[in-house]
Amino acid sequence: MQIIDGKLVSETIKTQLAEKVLELKALGKKVPHLAAILVGDNPASETYVASKVKSCAEIGYNSTLLRFDAQISEKHLLDQIIALNENPDVDGILVQLPLPKHISEELVINTIDPGKDVDGFHPMNVGKMVSGLPTYIPATPYGIMLLLEYYQIPTKGKHAVVIGRSHIVGTPMSVLLSRNAYPGNCTVTICHSHTHNLKELCLQADIIVAAIGRPNFVTADMVKEGAVIIDVGINRIPDATKKSGSRLVGDVDFAAVKEKASFITPVPGGVGPMTIAALLKNTYYASQGEKVKLN
């Protein structure tokens, strides 16, 4: 069994991007600029946005963080996005999700200029991804594709089971795994809350992508010997032995499942850091007026 080291791969990608920034600077060109919008005080969102801003600084990107309290009106938020769309210095825009209930995520995403939508959530970019055209690919699925490629994990003809059908992870992941290229060419099954024979399907899977948001949901008895396990879950559970009183676990029972897996991502240190690295790659492409073209 091999543990997929997302921290290592993300650091490698960040080093490559930092080199590209130095090249831009040497040519007297502008460095990539990411604008992040954070609404409210969700502690997890605060951590993720802080990590995005810190990563930008580490590799030499400019970043702008716009913070608003949870009561911001939808109209005011949309006006801020429009201003960023019109700001020629800003290459990439992201609005950290989730948003407070009174704000339509759909409207917010649709307001971001598709050319600056480095999260790849705009319907125009989703459509391009589904059509196999160069575009911005949502950061978590993009990060997973980069991990599969880095570890040269065979995917052609494999049965991939994706647990979860969110717009951020499950749905794009299923599109990418079934595309006609490497990584891809999988036969994909998407499972969700109405899937009755989940265990049976998982037992047939060569690759499982768990993105359901339930701690330790995938147990060893659901996994075939030699399966590749990609854990997207980030769940904080109580742990009295920790100073903080809690610890982070994925959607997979890592300790037991690793005994059966050929490759497995840990939590933390697996998919999470790759989400940031993939966002930074998208931002670089946006700054160059390019889109991501997977192999």
Ligand X SMILES: Nc1nc2c(c(=O)[nH]1)N[C@@H](CN(C=O)c1ccc(C(=O)N[C@@H](CCC(=O)O)C(=O)O)cc1)CN2
Residues designated as active site: 52, 96, 119
234 near ligand X (CB under 6 A): yes
Which spans in the chain are helix H?
Answer: 6-26, 43-59, 74-86, 105-111, 123-130, 139-150, 170-178, 198-203, 254-257, 271-287
Residue among 30 and 102 whose Cβ is closer to ligand X:
102
Q: Residue with CB nearest ligand X?
A: 272
212 near ligand X (CB under 6 A): no
- How far apart are CB 102 and ligand X at their closest, in Å? 18
Instruction: Give the distance from CA 144 to its chain's centroid.
Output: 8
Tell me which of 91, 117, 119, 253 binds ligand X, using CB under 6 A: 119
- Ranges within 75-114 binding ligand X (CB under 6 A): 94-97
Contact 13, 146 (CB under 8 A): yes
Going from the C-alpha of 14 to that of each of 56, 142, 237, 279, 295, the distances in angstroms are 9, 15, 30, 11, 20
Tell me which of 168, 223, 227, 228 binds ligand X, using CB under 6 A: 168
Task: Provide the CB-side half-sphere exposure for 98 (13 A, CA).
Answer: 5
Say how far apart CA 83 and CA 236 lie, in whole Å.
36
- Ranges within 131-160 binding ligand X (CB under 6 A): 139-140
Tell me which of 275, 282, 283, 287 binds ligand X, using CB under 6 A: 275
Phi, psi of 247, rounded to the nearest 5 degrees: -145, 165
Residue among 17 and 95 whose Cβ is closer to ligand X:
95
Region from 15-23, 45-53, 199-207, 283-291 binding ligand X, contact rule CB under 6 A: 45-53
272 near ligand X (CB under 6 A): yes
Cis-peptide into 215, omega within 30 deg: no
Tell me which of 115, 213, 215, 268 binds ligand X, using CB under 6 A: 268
Region from 11-19, 43-51, 183-191, 221-229 binding ligand X, contact rule CB under 6 A: 43-51
Total interface residues for ligand X by CB under 6 A:
20
- How far apart are CB 87 and ligand X at their closest, in Å? 19
- How far apart are CB 223 and ligand X at their closest, in Å? 20
DSSP 3-state helix, strand, coil percentages of the chain (rounded to 5)?
40, 20, 40
- How far apart are CB 6 and ligand X at their closest, in Å? 7
Tell me which of 48, 136, 142, 263 binds ligand X, using CB under 6 A: 48
In 3D space, the residue among 8, 2, 16 whose CA is nearest the CA of residue 270 turns out to be 8
248 near ligand X (CB under 6 A): yes
Tell me which of 273, 280, 282, 286 binds ligand X, using CB under 6 A: 273
| Annotated binding-site members for NADP(+) | 164-166, 234
In three state form, how does the secondary structure of 177-213 look?
HHCCCCCCCCEEEEECCCCCCHHHHHHCCCEEEECCC
Contact 74, 60 (CB under 8 A): no
- How far apart are CB 232 and ligand X at their closest, in Å? 9
Contact 188, 170 (CB under 8 A): no
In 3D space, the residue among 102, 103, 84, 89 whose CA is nearest the CA of residue 37 turns out to be 84
Q: Which residues in this chain contact ligand X in the complex, by CB under 6 A?
A: 47-48, 51, 94-97, 119, 139-140, 168, 234, 248, 267-269, 272-273, 275-276
